[in-house]
Amino acid sequence: MYFMQFSASQIAQLIHGSIEGDADITVDSFGKIEEAKSGQLAFLANPKYEEYLYTTQASIIIINQQLVLKQALTATIIRVSDAYTAFATLLDMYQQVQNQQLSGIQEPSIIHSSAVIDENVFIGAFAFVSEDVKIGKGTKIYPGSFVGKNVKIGENSIIHPGVKIYHNCIIGSNVVIHAGTVIGSDGFGFAPQQDGTYKKVPQIGNVVIEDHVEIGANTTIDRATIGSTFIRMGVKLDNLVQIAHNVEVGENTVIAAQAGISGSTKIGKNVMIGGQAGIAGHLQIADGTKINGQSGVVKTISKTNTTVTGYPANDFRAYLRSQAVVKNLPELEKRIIELEAIIKKLHKDT
């Protein structure tokens, strides 16, 4: 991955690090620590990979400030308070440079005459921008995307190939939406009829996605029946996540792949939801809740900063205690059989 040539001193300045070794050595690409070559920049954040610190060919390595080296290194070291965050900062800068190279409107694409397109916007080939759309400065819309009527997109957002944004939805600034995602499809609303059929309930609301949100590939976020489905600032959604109508996902919440949130549920701030977890409708999930993967939440969680697991989801510590009991069931069964035999003998003797 090429990203121009930078010296250790320049990189250290960007990430506020301290240098040990040759400050003038340069790198021109990134590499994983276990396979990096000379001229590449690597990082070490996970202790599981520490062994590679002493064998890697990387020219510069970013490490945590408190890491104690077990032997001398040939590479130049940049110490920072958080190596993972520092490396992410550099990758983000690299990506920004790449994105800044894109601007203008590719052909063929269809842009309605009433659409308002700000400066430095990129619109890729085969994109469709409907009437009364507003697109903010520096936003990139990649090929094959659809932007519906009266959609508003803020500044410096990235809409990857094949994204579909239905009418009236609002996308904030610095939002990233990955390929194949659908924003604003109809919520699942059908009224059962006496004859056994279902009458569709029109979904006339929209979806509001606030600033600094990232949405993974092939995720779906349904429009509200009335009002808005809200994805608040800083939320991060993985691939293949389903958000139903009138859901609200609170600030800085993260949701892993294949999780599903049913209609009208309100998720608090800084919640962490594991993969394949499911949350029933019309519930409240308190701030700071952690929901383990494959859990099924069927009732409101009112206490903040709790961890739940299992189906139906229950307190994680209580779950661990119950698992300890289950583990001992064979021995407990054996003891019960022995006690029953003793009691039976006592009765017989009397």
* pLDDT score at 334: 86
* pLDDT score at 327: 80
0.85 surpassed by pTM: no
If one counts every other C-beta atom within 10 angstroms of the C-beta of residue 236, the result is 16
Alpha helix (H) residue ranges in the chain: 8-15, 83-100, 316-327, 329-349
The residue to which tokens 């299992």 are assigned: 310
Closest CA to 12 of 92, 103, 81: 81
Is the model's pLDDT at 145 over the cut of 60? yes
Give the C-alpha separation, 102 to 328, whole Å: 62
pLDDT band at 350 (very low <50, low <70, confident <90, very high): low
Is the model's pLDDT at 315 over the cut of 90? no
Long-range contacts of 80-84 (CB under 8 A, 24+ apart): 80/15, 80/16, 80/17, 80/18, 82/45, 83/43, 83/44, 83/45, 84/43, 84/45
Q: Which of these ranges, 34-48, 76-90, 196-210, 304-318, has the smallest mean pLDDT?
A: 304-318
Q: What is the pLDDT of residues 231-273, one digit of tens each?
A: 999 999 999 999 999 999 999 999 999 999 999 999 999 999 9
Q: What is the pLDDT of residues 172-194, one digit of tens each?
A: 999 999 999 999 999 999 999 99
Is the model's pLDDT at 349 over the cut of 80? no
Q: What is the pLDDT of residues 45-58, one digit of tens each?
A: 999 999 999 999 99
Written as six digits, the tokens of 133 are 């759309």
| CATH of the domain spanning 2-100 | 3.40.1390.10
Q: Active-site residues: which are they?
A: 245
* pLDDT score at 129: 98
Q: What is the mean pLDDT of residues 196-208?
A: 97
187 neighbors 203 (Cβ within 8 angstroms): yes
Q: How many percent of the chain have pLDDT more than 90? A: 81
What average pLDDT does the structure give for the chain? 93
Give the C-alpha separation, 166 to 151, whole Å: 7
Is the model's pLDDT at 3 over the cut of 80? no
- Delimit the domains of the chain by residue range: 2-100, 104-317, 324-349
Which of the following CATH numbers is that of domain 104-317: 3.30.70.580, 3.10.440.10, 3.40.50.2300, 2.160.10.10? 2.160.10.10
Q: What is the pLDDT of residues 19-28, one digit of tens each?
A: 999 999 999 9
* pLDDT score at 314: 80
If one counts every other C-beta atom within 10 angstroms of the C-beta of residue 131, the result is 13
Is the model's pLDDT at 1 over the cut of 50? no
In the chain, the amino acid numbered 228 is S
In angstroms, how far apart are the furthest CA atoms of the chain? Answer: 100
* CB-based burial, 247-279: b 16+ in 10 Å, e otherwise: bbbbbbbbbbbbbbbbbbbbbbbbbbbbbebbb
Distance separating the N- and C-terminal Cα atoms of the chain: 86
* pLDDT score at 91: 87
Residues 6+ apart with CB under 8 A from 156: 136, 137, 138, 139, 173, 174
User: Which burial class, exposed, middle or buried, applies to 241 when counting CB atoms under 10 A from its CB (0-12, 13-18, 19+)?
Assistant: buried
Q: What is the mean pLDDT of residues 262-286?
A: 97
In the chain, the amino acid numbered 332 is L
* pLDDT score at 309: 92
Q: What is the pLDDT of residues 102-118, one digit of tens each?
A: 778 999 999 999 999 99
